[in-house]
Amino acid sequence: MPRIAPSACVDPAAELADDVEVGPGCYVGPKVRIGAETRLLPNVTLLGRTDIGARNIFYPGAVIGAAPQDLKYQGTDTRLVIGDDNIFRESVTVHTGTEIGGGITKIGDRNQFQIGSHVAHDVSIGNHCLLSNQVQVAGHVVIEDAVNISALTGIQQFVTVGRYAFIAGLARVTTDVPPYLIYGGFDGAVIGHNEVGMRRWKFSEDQIARIRELYKLLYSKKAGRSGATISDRLAMAESNGALTEHEKYLMAFLKRTLHDGVFGRHLERARRDKQLPPPDFYKSTGA
């Protein structure tokens, strides 16, 4: 049987694996499902239609599965799906999806969400990502695998963050972030290649060197002074001979953003809310 503290409130309709631990002061709603060996430390709140995998840990004050803050949300029974082995530190918040965004927020495996970070509606996060303190992720964002986001970063709606990217602290992310590279600054720009991260993930020296040279060709000060556009530089890179898997992926990512994107975000073109009537919030107050 699950180990449930006397002061916790677990709705009888909730589904808990036999070895789940629910600490004092927790609340678990009726549509929540919790997998094996998951632990809720004191004062965790789990709401909504939330499916949680195995061996996750939720620290005090986390509120998971609350309704979206999107003003267009109509109250439908949307979902949040969380994989295995994730850590949600103090005061982390994660919301379910919206009707127009597909109805689901998804988090993969082995991610860590540090104090006060927020994951909004319809976000998709891969595996092995780290969101540091107070990272704020807006709706409809996609974060691929093995991404490291430093503290106090804000990510705008419909941004895609490529795998193995690193985002520096206090960054304002308004455009897609290319994989394998470092992004930072208030105005948001590529400022380096993520050599430290690639080493940690056991990239070979040759793979790292190839990404380093591609970064120089695309983003270095010398490349900027050449007068060639980023599209021209991509064409030059493609003409340099055989490419590795990682080089091909980086260039495909950039082409997708450049050719299909709007305002530097390729997902922006697919958004479906532009033709909707204004939400009730904006209706006349009678003044």
User: What residues are annotated to the active site?
Assistant: 121-122, 139
Say how many CA atoms lie within 13 Å of 271 toward its Cβ: 19
Query: What is the identity of the amino acid at 167?
Result: I
Strand-strand pairing, 32-34 and 15-16? parallel
Here the tokens at position 231 are: 């599209």
Are 69 and 51 within 8 A, CB to CB? no
- Considering only CA atoms, give the Rg of the chain: 21
Q: Where are the beta strands (DSSP E) in 83-199?
A: 87-88, 93-95, 104-107, 112-113, 118-119, 124-125, 130-131, 136-137, 142-143, 148-149, 154-155, 160-161, 166-167, 172-173, 181-184, 189-193
Here the tokens at position 91 are: 């005061």
Query: What is the identity of the amino acid at 37?
Result: E
